[in-house]
Amino acid sequence: MSNVRVRFAPSPTGPLHIGGVRTALYNYLFAKKNGGKFILRIEDTDQKRYVAEAEEYIIKSLEWFGFSPEEGPGLGGDFGPYRQSERKDIYGQYVTELIEKGHAYYCFDTSEELTNWRLENEAQKIYGVKYNHATRMNMRNSISLSKEESEKLIKEGNNVTVRLKIPTGRTIDFTDVVRGDVSFNSDELDDKIILKGDGMPTYHLANIVDDHLMEITHVIRGEEWLPSTGHHVLMYEMFGWTAPSFSHLPLILKPVGSGKLSKRDGAKFGFPVFPLEWFDKEEDKTYQGFKEDGYLPEAVTNFISLLGWNPGTDEEMFTLEELVAAFDPTRIVKSGAKFDVDKARWFNQQYIIAKPNTELADLLMPMAKEKGYDVSEDFMIKFADLMKERAEVIPDFFTAGGFFFEMPVDIDEKMAKKKYKLENRPHFDALIASMEGMQQFTSSALESVVKSYIADNELSFGAIMPILRIGACGTMKGPDLFETMELLGQDEVLSRMKASIEKFTALKNAQNG
């Protein structure tokens, strides 16, 4: 496939939703698979909902994932500008062309008039009324009004919009890569506004014009745009242009119940739906991102790639390069995919386990410093190795392995009371003395000392090992005890064990009354 050009065209009205990330990913994969270009275009024609920080957020999110556009704002390219607000002067000639061809017309209805019109219809139990071939002659526009009155209103320039004039009695057909053959009856379509009163184009016009001028060959976008594609196909025909190939992606659904996944669902169920942290000024609320929650970008990429697409095999683990090689848009499914946060965490854990310990240490070291832990790089590398199979997200290293940095204040007293026997105190004192005399405080040497003592004194592992673990770590949970002790170091282990045995003895005496 030659000269493939695809675009990701988000609106900067807020943070980039994970569904938008998936759209960007599929466009990126398709472009790379076919040796084409992946373009970022910012569709900021909706100035009322424009959020200044959103564009930077979108760009940073794509950078975090590694979906690098080859053209776009700040990147240059032969088809710019890549912000629609900077292309405003381009659209006027195309609006004029449609009007002159009889495919569009001026409208003078105010927002208040349109609202009252809809309310009047609803009062007569006429719902979902459309501004179209059946109603346009009853409205204030250049078709229903005289030429002189229309020209006067156009000159005054108040509330002047332009609508597409949808022809009647037409069947509009196109083939969607995901949906198959799709048909629209033109009599059921509304005359959509293509130029707003502020002179800015709507999505419907700007999208078509820009895709044509930027030579976009394939449009891969969310299914929410499928109902409008009938209008878009008609507009390509009206201009005499060749329409691109269309692929409309299924929704990402709530984990529980029905409907599209929203930021409210993330807040409700405690998981992110945005790639990066986002502060919502209107709500005065911060929404966590996948990055801040401790997900690796490659894991999230792998996870979302399978929300609506399957490779045709049972394989689940894919690097970005492997996704490029495997991606086939004909394997995108029609039905929505439920967002399963447990699966997302599973993917993240697999990537944590596979990640080199040195790279994990680089991620963990700044977090350790923030917590006030002063440790060496070598310590952090060994810590990462011991804890990586116990971490689903990066913060788990510290929540599950905080005892590597300081003895927990809250120890597992319930288990300590259950397992600690006063009559075993001499054995623990002897073991501590043995550890104190060790020249090489390694995991293998520790294991030999402890297990030999247990055997020589005909003790059970259950009488000794749990107390050693709680004494050193404060908890029964953790990686191999002897490897943990080695990393903690001889002085720290001895200090903890001596203090713990005194505490366990006091707890047991108090328990016995």
Catalytic residues: 263
Q: How far apart are CA 128 and CA 24, in angstroms?
A: 33
Q: Following CA atoms 479, 482, 487, 490 in sequence, which dihedral angle do they give, to the nearest 10 degrees?
A: 150
Q: Which residues contact 333 (CB under 8 A, 6 or more apart)?
A: 178, 250, 308, 309, 310
* CB-CB contact of 498 with 433 (8 Å): no
Angle at 295 between CA 293 and CA 298, to 5 degrees: 155
Cα separation, 116 vs 132, in Å, equals 17
CA triplet 50, 51, 52: central angle to 5 degrees?
115
Cβ burial of 18 (10 Å; 0-12, 13-18, 19+) is buried
The angle, 0 to 180 degrees and rounded to 10, between the axes of the packed helices 481-488 and 443-456 is 120
Question: The tokens of 184 are what?
Answer: 């629209």
Q: Is the peptide bond before 311 cis (omega within 30 degrees of 0)?
A: no
Pairing of strands 337-338, 252-253: parallel
Q: Which residue has the tokens 């019109």?
A: 117
Query: From CA 307, how far away is CA 301, in angstroms rounded?
Result: 10
DSSP secondary structure string, 94-135?
HHHHHHHTTSEEEE---HHHHHHHHHHHHHTT--S--SSTTT
Query: Which contiguous run of DSSP H or E holds residue 325?
Result: helix 320-326
Report the interhelical angle of 18-33 vs 297-305 (nearest 10°): 80
**Inter-residue contact 325 to 310 (CB < 8 Å):** no
The string of DSSP codes covering 284-320 is TEEE-BTTTTT--HHHHHHHHHTSSB--SSS-----H
